[in-house]
């Protein structure tokens, strides 16, 4: 297996030894859709199904040819061949577990791993450049955003191929090219107005978040089946950058999303071991922070850390997706109907229990316990509203730092100094790994406590308006969307549509006594869509988003992820 050092490969039929180029890719492919089989010695065109984006035909052909080098594609396919069946088995296990939950089963801590939870062990010590993670900024791997995030003053930048990225083929390839340039410090950008953007001398540490296990990359097929989006995103980033990052004193660092069990973490660990061995990267170079953003994962935090102990960089409170997961997993139970989304905050008992359990679990195991996202963005034209938004951020970050989190997330560079100020004041050391919560006792009932509150027409309208507008933007190719002074990603749309589904499913009563019916939700949806300027999104995307949203909130069961059916409509 060739490394990511730019080694060439014979790829042209009848022309052994000739490296693939943008021109030859265009000559061979011409937009053909050719699946990959198990035979060897295939051309690059044999290996890539470029649906509507022929090699070399888009805005940055050299970058695309570099990203999709034959050796890089071979590496991604090797991951799919070795681990694809296991991934599908784990997804089937998710579906079976959901069926049991729908039938009344309730999550609990695993009896078979009780001894592991009782025993003393720790994860590998954090690398030097991951010891201080007090503020992390996240965003999609768009070129200008990458530069601004790395220059933001945050300790870490998580480049996101998941919730804040709409996986349009061209954008996904461009994102990988942008990160390759960022790793090598050659990334730059010039705006249409002529403003130039370049990296500062001191930049944030780069982490990459690949897509979750449930997502696929439809443009690359193996034996007629799309490869895993996880393998595609991880594989290209690792192949092209792992050795370069190590040579520069850092390493291949990742965030892992949407996991539901320690067996899913075990699969990631096996992927890391295989990837390192295949490319001659020292074992243990990979470090991964797991987002605890599903209800079931909250019951297996020790087990997840143990599976990844050689490669662990801690856990993170992915709170918005966690709320979505809570609704989805328990949604069939009328006793678990949630109040307005705006009434569900981190001081709710079930969320506070989960976040404090995460802190204690991580610190007991020598791992970082990262706090959640502040989605607020600066409000330039309304000082009073801006002050109120910053006050919310301050209160949230003071709670996190006071509880013992080792850092936090922000979505906008303007919030980096706000969050940093709190952690600098309350956490003068690089982290709080020594801080324990010895008296903490969290039972299953604490994690399953449904928050009290009311359901209102305003809450219904907000869910439908924000959810549909986000989905329309996502379908237009934008996964990171400012709406009502918040930087929204897919998690917001997921909470919104799952909550509407739950309210419709159970005929939940609004505060004025009306039940939420499918007819009421459709009427409100129509009214909210009519308020949106017709030219705000790409042609037809708002109507498509409304149709997808309606299909999901009237479905007999909660659709697992809205991005799965929506992905069929992306190029």
Residues taking part in catalysis: 209, 489
Task: Compute φ and ψ for 302, nearest 5 degrees.
Answer: -60, -45
Q: How far from 131 is each of 226, 243, 305, 515, CA to CA, in Å? A: 38, 21, 17, 51
Q: DSSP label at 33?
A: B
Q: Please, what's the b/e burial string for 386-425 (b: 16 or more CB within 10 A of its CB; e: otherwise)? A: beebbeebeebbebbbebbbbbbbbbbbbbbebbbebbee
Comparing C-alpha atoms, which of 448, 449, 452 is closest to residue 340? Answer: 452
How many Cβ atoms sit within 10 Å of the Cβ of residue 19?
A: 16
Closest C-alpha among 546, 560, 567 to residue 479? 567
56's torsion region: left (phi>0), alpha (psi -120 to 50) or beta?
A: left
DSSP strand pairing (287-292 vs 312-317)? parallel
Retrieve residue 380's tokens: 């330039």
Contacts of 561 (CB under 8 A, 6+ apart): 214, 215, 494
Classify 51 as helix, strand or coil.
coil
C-alpha to C-alpha distance for 507 and 32, rounded to whole angstroms: 49
- Two tokens, residue 285: 């170079």
């Amino acid at each position: 297996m060739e490394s990511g050092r730019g080694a060439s490969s014979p790829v042209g039929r009848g022309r052994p030894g000739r490296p693939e180029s943008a021109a030859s890719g265009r000559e061979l492919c011409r937009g053909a859709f050719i699946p990959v089989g198990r035979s060897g010695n295939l051309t690059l065109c044999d290996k890539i199904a470029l649906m509507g984006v022929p090699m070399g035909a888009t805005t940055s052909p050299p970058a695309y040819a570099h990203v999709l080098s034959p050796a890089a594609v071979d590496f991604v396919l090797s991951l799919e061949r070795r681990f694809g069946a296991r991934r599908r088995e784990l997804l089937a296990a998710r579906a079976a577990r959901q069926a049991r939950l729908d039938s009344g089963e309730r999550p609990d801590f695993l009896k078979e791993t009780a001894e592991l939870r009782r025993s003393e062990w720790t994860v590998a010590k954090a690398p030097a450049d991951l010891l201080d993670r007090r503020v992390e900024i996240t965003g999609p791997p768009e070129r200008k955003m990458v530069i601004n995030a790395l220059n933001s003053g945050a300790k870490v930048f998580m480049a996101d191929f998941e919730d804040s990225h709409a996986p349009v083929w061209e954008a996904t390839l461009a994102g990988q090219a942008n990160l390759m340039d960022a790793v090598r410090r050659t990334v730059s950008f010039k705006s249409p107005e002529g403003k130039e953007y370049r990296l500062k001398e001191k930049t944030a540490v780069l982490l990459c978040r690949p897509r979750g296990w449930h997502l696929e990359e439809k443009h690359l097929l193996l034996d007629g089946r799309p490869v895993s989006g996880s393998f595609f995103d991880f594989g290209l980033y690792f192949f092209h950058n792992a050795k370069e990052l190590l040579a520069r004193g850092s390493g291949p660092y990742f965030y892992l999303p949407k996991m539901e069990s320690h067996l899913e973490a075990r699969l990631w660990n096996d992927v890391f071991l295989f990837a390192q061995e295949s490319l001659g990267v020292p074992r243990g170079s990979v470090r991964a922070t797991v987002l605890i953003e599903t209800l079931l994962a909250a019951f297996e935090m020790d087990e997840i850390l143990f599976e990844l102990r050689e490669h662990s960089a801690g856990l993170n409170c992915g709170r918005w997706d966690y709320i979505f997961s809570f609704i989805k997993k328990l949604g069939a139970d009328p006793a678990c109907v949630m109040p307005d989304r705006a009434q569900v905050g981190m001081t709710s008992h079930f969320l506070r229990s989960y976040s404090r359990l995460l802190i204690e679990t991580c610190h007991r195991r020598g791992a970082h316990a990262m706090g959640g996202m502040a989605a607020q963005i600066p409000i330039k034209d309304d000082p009073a509203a801006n002050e109120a938004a910053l006050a919310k951020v301050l209160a949230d970050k003071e709670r996190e730092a006071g509880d013992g989190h080792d850092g936090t997330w922000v979505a906008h560079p303007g919030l980096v100094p706000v969050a940093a100020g709190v952690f600098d004041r309350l956490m003068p050391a690089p982290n709080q790994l020594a801080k324990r919560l010895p008296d903490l006792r969290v039972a299953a009932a604490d994690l399953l406590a449904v928050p009290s509150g009311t359901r209102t027409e305003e809450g219904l309208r907000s869910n439908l308006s924000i959810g549909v507008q986000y989905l329309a933007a996502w379908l237009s190719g934008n996964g990171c969307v400012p709406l009502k002074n918040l930087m929204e990603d897919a998690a917001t749309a997921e909470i919104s549509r799952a909550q509407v589904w739950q309210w419709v499913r159970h005929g939940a009563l609004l505060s004025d006594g009306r039940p939420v019916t499918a007819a009421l939700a459709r009427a409100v949806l129509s009214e909210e869509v009519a308020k949106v300027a017709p030219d705000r999104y790409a042609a037809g995307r708002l109507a498509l988003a409304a149709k997808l949203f309606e299909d999901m909130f009237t479905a007999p069961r909660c659709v697992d992820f809205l991005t799965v059916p929506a992905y069929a409509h992306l190029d």
